[in-house]
Amino acid sequence: MGTKLEEATEIDAGGHPVVLGPNALRVLDRHLLAWAPSSVFVLGDENTLRHCLPELLGTVANLRSAETIAIAAGESSKSLPVCQRIWEHLAAHAADRGALIVALGGGVVTDVAGFIAATYKRGVRCVLVPTSLLGMVDAAIGGKTGIDLGGVKNTVGAFHDPLGVYVHVPFLKSLGKRELLNGVAEMIKHGLVQDASHYEAIRQASLHDLDALEPLIASSAAIKSAVVKDDPRESGARKLLNFGHTIGHGLEAFSWEGQQRNLQHGEAVAIGMVCEAWLSWRAGLLDRESNDLIAAHLRSLYKPFRLHGSEHHRVIELMRNDKKNHGGEFRFTLLTGIGSARVDVPVTAAQVHEALEHYRLLVKE
């Protein structure tokens, strides 16, 4: 066909490939022909259907006769009523076990589409086309799907690998700056726990330049893929990816309770990484210079979150609800250097309190 399809890279994430590069969508077009689904449904939210669907259909001719299913943008779509509506839509269109679901969106859309694919008719095939940075480097990779229940995230779900994840970086052109930084936090984490040169490249890069971002997205997707390939059912090695998330989750939940600004996931993880790098230093695992560099870098990218000393106990209480903690003790993934980490380090509530106090004083300056 004349197009250089080799201009796409395939990364092995264990249960599925991640296809990246200028021709990722053309590769998807070719794969669709080979899979020969009985029917195809493209699931997106109002933003991704407006900003990304025209380009998807412009390149992937084999999707032009697909049915489109729209859900509302935002976390509230990861719900049972939304799933019921999609299951009913599929049934009304006589979708059988040969059907294919194509997710076009951020982590919300890929989580919902994956869950629908895992459950409809006891499982149909799906393909994920992430359109947010967080989706490209994290949410779409690894086969975890799920929806929320009673305000608790990802309570109901399944592992269901897609046939493939197709990453087309130009989709990020329409993504807002705050959303972009949300994904950058996970990329920084990938570098910090696994690859010092990746971290340094992110620190030096102009993050709003998509050409500069593209190779960094490929490196981050490769790090996430390697980790999930090692630990497909989340029994051990994936804990490496928890760095910044133990305190981050507590802060995220806390910010949604109070009067002040709500933190996005990546913003909370960025603060979590400042606190947890400091805990790593206090535990004698990380040198002071690296801790200071990480804190200064994260503070240059993310706005400060004002905490009162009296609020630390509530953040710690919310951390206790986190599924990652066992009994009364916290188990952290801490840094042993820039580019390496240790999982399951025991940390007391008093030490978490100190780390939050450290952050509070840092942003008060």
Ligand X SMILES: NC(=O)c1ccc[n+]([C@@H]2O[C@H](COP(=O)([O-])OP(=O)(O)OC[C@H]3O[C@@H](n4cnc5c(N)ncnc54)[C@H](O)[C@@H]3O)[C@@H](O)[C@H]2O)c1
Q: Which of 16, 198, 224, 312 is catalytic?
A: 224
Q: Which is nearer to ligand X, 247 or 347 (CB)?
A: 247
Contacts of 39 (CB under 8 A, 6+ apart): 67, 93, 94, 95, 96, 98, 99, 100
Nearest-approach distance from CB 19 to ligand X, in angstroms:
18
Residue with tokens 């805990």, as numbered in its chain: 279
- Nearest 5°: the CA angle 129, 213, 68 is 20
- Nearest 5°: the CA angle 34, 35, 36 is 90
Active-site residue flag, 182:
no
Q: Which is nearer to ligand X, 47 or 219 (CB)?
A: 47
Active-site residue flag, 234:
yes
Q: Closest-CB residue for ligand X?
A: 107
Nearest-approach distance from CB 180 to ligand X, in angstroms:
10
Active-site residue flag, 358:
no
Q: Which is nearer to ligand X, 169 or 275 (CB)?
A: 169
Active-site residue flag, 177:
no
Residues in touch with ligand X (CB under 6 A)? 45, 47-48, 51-52, 73-75, 78, 105-109, 111, 131-132, 134-135, 138-139, 142, 144, 153-154, 171-172, 174-175, 179, 182
In whole angstroms, give the CA distance from residue 49 to residue 102: 12
Active-site residue flag, 306:
no
Active-site residue flag, 245:
yes
Q: Which of 16, 242, 252, 267 is catalytic?
A: 242
Count Cβ atoms within 10 A of the Cβ of residue 160 and give its class: 0-12 exposed, 13-18 middle, 19 or more buried.
buried
Q: Which is nearer to ligand X, 267 or 355 (CB)?
A: 267
- The DSSP secondary-structure symbol of 45 reads E
**Catalytic site positions:** 122, 144, 186, 224, 234, 238, 242, 245, 249, 265
